[in-house]
Amino acid sequence: MKLELTNKIIKNEHYMRLVSKLKELEKDRIFCKHDMEHFLDLARIAIILCSECGIDYDADIIYTAALLHDIGRVEEYRSGIPHDEASVVIASEILDEIGCTVGKKAEIIRLIASHRTADSAKTELEKIFYRADKKSRLCFCCDAADECNWPEYKRNNEIGV
């Protein structure tokens, strides 16, 4: 499995600056962080879910969307813009910078744009991406669980996909 776009993203200076800025902004955060571990866990869980459900997928699209889906948190912390909206704008810029095709860019942007809602009108892959985002969290052993504002239905309170 060749992850061409994914590897271009992690070598992109614009992206890596934002990842560093996000790490700095969340250094004192007691809740789940939006870091490389989360991004890669989301991608890996999404691929497992796709395989289990018999859904055709492009691993490069899933990994790329996972790397970019929360990058808008930087803008959310700075100006209050919802991170999914900011992530779409930033991801679009970065995908253009790395020469992503129009078709793949559209798929990646759809995953990013829909990662916060469990809307039934989504494609199967969008539903899986949403589910994997939630399953990538370790709510069942989180030290800040009592202070978390996530509703129970979003929390990952058990091991498994």
**Assigned domain for 107 exists:** yes
- The C-alpha angle with vertex 13 and arms to 11 and 19, in degrees rounded to 5, equals 90
Its domain, for residue 136, covers: 4-19+32-154
**Assigned domain for 27 exists:** no
- The C-alpha angle with vertex 113 and arms to 122 and 60, in degrees rounded to 5, equals 85
**CATH number, domain with residue 52:** 1.10.3210.10
pLDDT at 150: 84
pLDDT at 83: 94
Of 8, 88, 73, 6, nearest to 34 by C-alpha is 73
**Assigned domain for 54 exists:** yes
**Mean pLDDT in consecutive groups of 10 residues from the start of the chain, 161 residues:** 94 98 95 94 97 96 98 96 95 98 97 85 90 90 88 85 69
Are the C-beta atoms of 71 and 87 separated by less than 8 Å? Answer: yes
**Assigned domain for 26 exists:** no
**Assigned domain for 96 exists:** yes
**Assigned domain for 24 exists:** no
Query: How many domains would you assign to the chain?
Result: 1
Q: What DSSP string runs through 25-46?
A: HTTT--S---SHHHHHHHHHHH
- The C-alpha angle with vertex 67 and arms to 66 and 69, in degrees rounded to 5, equals 60
**Assigned domain for 63 exists:** yes
CB atoms within 10 A of CB 137: 19
**Assigned domain for 147 exists:** yes
pLDDT at 121: 66
| Residue-level length of the chain | 161
